[in-house]
Amino acid sequence: MLEAVDLDRKLSRTEYEQVFPALQERLRQLQYALKDAEVPTVLVFEGWDAAGKGSVIQRLSEKLDPRAFRAWPGAPPSELERRYHWLWRYQVRLPEDGHMTLFDHSWYGRVLVERVEKVVKKKVWRQAYDQINELERWLRDDGHVVVKLFFHISRKEQRRRLEKMERDRAERWKVQPEDWRRNRRYDRWVEAIEDMLDRTETPACPWTVVEATDARWTRVRVFRTIVDRMEEALRRRQESPEAVSRTQAAREATREDREHREREDQARVRSVAADAGLPLEDE
């Protein structure tokens, strides 16, 4: 599967400058369009260490409205999170309607790092495929846009990037012993990744494998994929009378609730003013 990916794909600077700014702007427009339509978006970023996910996240953050966009970095579960089902810590970070959440490493850690590093037993990570598919089916049925991307580079390219970072005083802190251990175990990781792509590829939530050798190609590929999926979701929402009706009903309920609270606030102000013998502004 991964061996068929063309890792030599690249863009010239001229091609990149012709395409990428327009994609950034379109993504910004779609963020507001889906916010108005109350459609939540989930971005799942998985990939090799040093594959360029951080650079893409930085480009995403440049144009998106931070009030409706949140990126969650992968981290081991806290003591509290260990008390609950392993998917709970991701569920509580899902976006509100109209917002976007990016998981930089996600629930797929169960079938990747936890499998390869033998953090959990074989039975546990094998069960996780069905649990993940059920979670994503629920998200899609609930109206979420789910975009899953895997950033792929070769073992040689990963080693080259790690060595380059180690030579850079400003970036050497990013390279940890486990990065080199994973590079040495590249073939073991490939087996886990291909199982993941095969077992969790569904019509509702498909995977996009990003050829991540060239940074410019990577950014354009990622942005174009996200834009296409968001445009598709917006069309579905606009073509669905039931969905439009739900959105209009929610907005009307919000407006009525706001007006009701304003009337209650005005009544309280009048009551306090009357008790204090103060004149009201409209008197």
d(C-alpha 264, C-alpha 52), whole Å? 53
pLDDT value, residue 183: 95
Cα gap 281→8, rounded to integer Å: 72
Supply the pLDDT for residue 283: 46
pLDDT digits (tens, 9 = 90+) for 137-182: 999 999 999 999 999 999 999 999 999 999 999 999 999 999 999 9
> What integer pLDDT is reported at residue 150 of this predicted model?
98
| 218-270 pLDDT tens trace | 999 999 999 999 999 999 998 876 655 555 555 565 566 667 677 877 777 67
Mean pLDDT score across all residues of the chain? 91
Q: How far is CA 27 from CA 31, 53, 151, 226, 278, in A?
A: 6, 17, 20, 8, 53
* Side chain identity at residue 206, one-letter code: P
pLDDT at 46 over 80: yes
User: CB of 191 within 8 A of CB of 41?
Assistant: no
What is the rounded average pLDDT of the residues 28-35?
A: 97
Distance CA 61, CA 224 (A): 16
Instruction: Give residue 120's pLDDT.
Output: 96
Residue 69 has pLDDT above 80, yes or no: yes
Nearest CA among 115, 111, 152, 196 for reference residue 3: 152
